[in-house]
Amino acid sequence: MTTDNENLRLLSVFHYVIAGLAGLFSLFPIFHIVMGALMVSGRLGDPNEQVPDRVFGMLFVAMGICMLVLGLAYAVCMALAGRFLDQHRNYVFCLVMAALSCAFFPFGTVLGVFTIIVLQRDSVRTLFDRT
């Protein structure tokens, strides 16, 4: 059992690291939000064609906000999965987040695969069932 506890603790730490990286990368769409705001205000683009620039600016702002919110939500969920792994709680949430982290190539993929492998062990499953 101590090996399983150690594996879950290490996976928990790595989930926190990936959550930090995901949080950092999710701040990149701020550039799109600023560029879209400049296009909407008319400070960026062709002054003769204000309408298309404003439409594209609104699109930039909307897409940037959506990407920012989704990225931050993913980072928070990864941090929660790390906490739940350490506390041996919410098995299904940890398994779903392990599967979703596989899309965060390359580090999330490695972490997701190893998390799925560890969570599929019967001894780890009993750890989650006990609490």
**Alpha helices for 26-121 (secondary structure H):** 30-41, 50-87, 91-101, 107-119
pLDDT of residue 50 exceeding 70, the answer is no
- Residue 101: what residue type? S
Q: Tell me, what's the pLDDT at 123?
A: 93
The token duo for 85 is: 């792994």
Q: Tell me, what's the pLDDT at 131?
A: 62
Q: In the chain, at which residue ranges do the beta strands (DSSP E only) sit?
A: none
CA-to-CA distance for 26 and 22, rounded, in angstroms? 6
CA-to-CA distance for 97 and 115, rounded, in angstroms? 9
- Percent over 70 (pLDDT), the chain: 93
Distance of CA 107 to the CA centre of its chain: 12
Mean pLDDT of 98-127: 95
